[in-house]
Amino acid sequence: MSDIRFNIFSTFEEREVVKIKNFEFVKKIEVIDLKTLDRYKKLSNFEIARKVAFIFLFNPVVLVLKITFNLLQMGFDCFSYVFSYVKMAKALANGAKDFFTKKDIVNKSFLQVFELSVTTRVDIFKNLAQDIIFIVRAPIYAIAIQFATFITLLSPYRARKAIAKIERSWNYDLDLSYDYKKNDDFKNNTLIKALYITLLKRNQSIVFYLAPCFQPGSLNDRHVISPLKEDLKR
């Protein structure tokens, strides 16, 4: 099969990729990054330019939404910390009652109060610090994506690769399997309720991708049977 070079400096080639899906052989023309062996969905330069324009326009919106989410998470963290005092007061009351009635001299409730006091303080400082870091770094990632869109003028596939890498890093290096569209809470509930559950549980395994079609697969995927990575070595 003939290979197609996009330009003399490119490390991308179009190849027929054969993989097994649902016990069937599936053949597709995909774009292979010869350095990393990443597999990209084949798109025309016009399609890439159209999607990059969409990213350029809506990336600032994503920035605002992500910062807002982290601010809400900080609010939930603070509420959780305040609520821990209610738990400590209840445990302290139970401990005092057991102590004075001599039901439990070596009181486990007092130990629970001490444990809650330590763990909640550690957790609140750790979580708030993490939320602040996420808020501070968000504009950096957003600006990087905006600049990466201009690479499209020189090399569409290099721009696509750059945007994909930056967005994945922004999403805590979690792949598309963690996208909110695939999460059960978002599938089975309204958006507001799903967000509430996510914030309450502090679920950090849910991400949002603005350009999921830019994210690559890998030639090392166990379902891929052709081409072999050895065949692509130069």
Domain ranges of the chain: 1-37+219-234, 45-215
Nearest of 34, 26, 29, 25 to residue 15 by alpha carbon: 29
User: At CB < 8 A and 24+ separation, what contacts does 224-232 make?
Assistant: 224/17, 224/18, 224/19, 224/39, 225/18, 225/19, 225/20, 226/16, 226/17, 226/18, 227/15, 227/16, 227/17, 227/32, 229/37, 232/13, 232/15, 232/32, 232/34, 232/37
* Token pair recorded at residue 95: 């401990």
User: Which residue in this structure is represented by tokens 């079609």?
Assistant: 213
What confidence score (pLDDT) does residue 52 get? 92
| pLDDT tens, per residue, the chain with 234 residues | 434 444 444 588 888 888 877 777 888 888 888 888 888 888 888 888 899 999 999 999 999 999 999 999 998 888 877 766 666 666 666 666 665 565 554 455 556 655 666 566 777 888 889 999 999 999 999 999 999 999 888 888 888 899 999 999 999 999 888 888 888 888 888 888 888 888 888 888 889 999 898 998 888 877 787 776 666 655
**What span, in angstroms and rounded, lies between the C-alpha atoms of 86 and 92?**
10
What pLDDT sits at residue 92? 61
- The letter for the amino acid at 34 is L
**pLDDT given at position 65:** 93
Residue 139's H or E segment, with its range, is: helix 108-149
Give the integer Cα–Cα distance in Å for 172 and 167: 9
Q: Which pLDDT value is given to residue 163?
A: 93
- The answer to whether 122 and 134 are in contact (CB under 8 A) is no
Specify the pLDDT at position 217: 85
pTM of the model: 0.77
Q: What integer pLDDT is reported at residue 184 of this predicted model?
A: 84
